[in-house]
Structure 1
Amino acid sequence: MSLPALTAELAVASRCTLGEGPQWHAATGRLYWCDILARRLHWLAPSTGATGQHSLDHRVSLAAPLTSGELLLVGEDRLSRFAPHNGRVETLLDFEADNPVTRSNDGRVDRHGSLWLSSMGKAAEPGAGSLYRLHRGELTRLRTGLTIPNAICFSPDGEFAWFTDTVTGVVMRWALDREGWPLGKPTHWADVSATSGHPDGAVVDAEGYLWLALWGAGQVVRLDHDGHIVAKIELPVSQPSCPVFAGKNLERLYITTAREGLDQASLAAQPLAGALFVADVGVTGLAEPVLRLT
């Protein structure tokens, strides 16, 4: 049986080297995403089409909205508070600052207003990455020995977390307690290693289904509650990195992409690589809590 095939269209021709970490900031009506390697923070106001960017002095992979209206920047060696209206940056915590091999990678706020975030080797060194939880300003390491930790997201009721180590091709599911802390060991939930791509970033919709970017395959797939692929979005570029729902009613799915590692022939064949794309997928997103630091 063929899967429902959806298409994505260009939203912003941002030409990111490594577009990542899209986050919807409901209070300001802006979607933020990062170009990790170019050290830029991009934004889009979907209601008006206005766009902009901020230059940064270090590699940042995520800009999570705070209750103050500012953003928490998850960077290669630090976590910082950022004020978009004036560009002021205040360092809050070190993040693997003593490890020059690693940088930050994926992240998402859980159902309790805490941030799960990950690190990885700058050259994807095997086993160099870790998974953390920032809960009320305190950073706790949850898991080590990962290579490219990705696809961090959470079930609507907060009962489970998902993540992947991209190189394995397997999405893991982890039971959580009432405070959002992991219980026992994570279990295999979905194996996408037979596809032509590799699991990257993910987000959960209002029906509790997971939308997963397949790096290298030019697709974002929708997985049901049992981890089966039930729909897919085809993109005109090969390296989608992470999806997110955005807009006043979380009615559209936006997808970051990358140009990193593509040779001249590949770039000529996919000139929109690194752009932000958008798709109408027939379902709305799941509103995510704002990050709480205290």
Structure 2
Amino acid sequence: MNPVAKLLVDSQCALGEGPFWHDGLQKLFWFDINNRVLFAVTEDGTPSGEWHFGEVVAAAAIIDDENLALATETGLKRFNLSSGAIESIAAIEADIPANRTNDSRVHPSGAFWIGTMVKDEGPKDGSVYHYRAGSLTRIIENAAIPNATCFSPDGRTAYWTDTPTQKILKCATDPDTGLPSGEWVLFADVADHPGHPDGAVVDSEGYVWNARWGGNCVIRYAPDGTIDRVVDVPVSQVTCPAFGGKDLKRLFLTTANKTMSAEALAAEKVAGGVFYIDLDVAGLPEARIVL
């Protein structure tokens, strides 16, 4: 039998996403994209902050212990956790109101890969942008639902999926800049695996943990793309993993309850919560964005 993740926070998120562990603050942060909220809790789930926004915010990069760089529907913005002050860093698709940000992650070089998609889903009008040191570059076009952005520990490989394709891809990246330096090739064809590929993170051993939307699980893939292990989750819409805790061996998992029927919600009363499992392998600390 597969191990089963346990409930940490019954947050009832419509679309829980973008979790990350802030090692400087020793807190887990995550978003409810649809309700425009950022949450923070300690390792044991004690509430430690809640912030509401006037636009969609899907992900964040750590600047320091006081500030985050938010990936919002109109661009990258500096956000002060204490004062709530927000200022623009770079506009991203601010002229495309139909789009919003989605899955995003910081490369070991400090480059922030930021995904965008159509809010109503379906059309392949999303992209992935690379931001580092004041420079913004579009590196992927024609994406429907960008997901699973994550990087090998040495910064030489990027992983990514367009969720409907059911294929996780990889490409070589420059470890110093985080820019792609090769062609995208197949890492794993996951059409026969439970659910659809959603968010992902790489552990300290270079294995990829991929959350499975509609699959009730997170799957750990070996560097050769084979399944290493599966952790079951007691709700179906699992969105994204993040390693955290004092030893980075606690895997946190965000989930969603949007689009679920009344019958499904009755069966999954804690859908939209944050779950966790303690593992024998550590994750990697979140890289800081280079502004």
Question: By the TM > 0.5 criterion, same fold?
Answer: yes
Alignment length (residue pairs):
290
Map of 1:102-117 to 2, 5 A cutoff? 102-117=99-114
Instruction: Return the TM-score normalized by structure 2.
Output: 0.96
Cα-to-partner distance string for 1:42-84 (whole Å, 9 max, x where unaligned): 1111167233311111110012210363111111112111111
List 4+ stretches of structure 1 deviating above 3 A.
Answer: none
Task: For structure 2, list consecutive stretches of 5 or more residues without a partner in the other structure.
Answer: none
TM superposition shift of 1:278: 0.5
1:87 paired to 2:88? no
What residue is the counterpart of 1:121 in the other structure? Answer: 118
- Give the whole-Å Cα distance in 1 for the aligned partners of 2:150 and 2:19: 13
* 8 Å Cα contact 1:154-1:161 kept in structure 2: yes
| Deviation at residue 184 of structure 1 after TM alignment | 2.9
Counterpart among 141, 146, 151 of residue 154 in structure 1: 151
| CA distances 1:171-214 after superposition (whole Å, capped 9, x unpaired) | 00011124321123200110111123000000011111010001
Q: Percent identity?
A: 42
Aligned 8 A contact 1:214 1:241 in 2:
yes
- The match for 1:183 among 178, 181, 184 is 181
Task: Please list, as runs of the form range in 1=range in 2, the aligned pairs for 1:273-284 lying within 5 A after superposition.
Answer: 273-284=271-282
Contact 2:22 2:286 in 1 (8 A): no
Q: Hey, what's the Cα distance between the residues in 1 that align with 2:137 and 2:250?
A: 33
CA–CA distance in structure 2, aligned partners of residues 52 and 68 of structure 1: 14
Distance 1:196 1:44 in 2: 29
TM-score, normalized by length of structure 1?
0.95
Distance, in Å, in 1 between the alignment partners of 2:25 and 2:44 is 11
C-alpha distance in 2 between matches for 1:178 and 1:269: 45
Aligned CA distance change for structure 1 residues 226 and 85 (closer, same or farther; 3 Å): same
Question: What are the ranges of 5 or more consecutive residues in structure 1 without an aligned counterpart?
Answer: none
Q: How does 1:9-20 map to 2 (within 5 A)?
A: 9-20=6-17
Q: Which letter does structure 2 place at the counterpart of 1:170?
A: K
Residue of structure 2 in register with 1:202 after alignment: 200
1:25 to 15, 22, 31: 22
Assess if the C-alpha contact under 8 Å between 1:20 and 1:257 holds in 2: yes
Q: Is 1:256 the equivalent of 2:260?
A: no
1:96 maps onto 2:93 in alignment: yes
Change (3 A) 1:48 1:195: closer
Structure 2 residue matching 1:82: 3-state secondary structure:
strand
**Native 8 Å contact 2:8 2:44 kept in 1:** no
SS in 2 for 1:266: helix
Q: CA RMSD in A?
A: 1.3
Q: How does 1:159-170 map to 2 (within 5 A)?
A: 159-170=156-167
Q: Does 1:56 align with 2:53?
A: yes
Query: Does 1:213 pair with 2:211?
Result: yes
Shift, 1:289, TM fit: 1.4
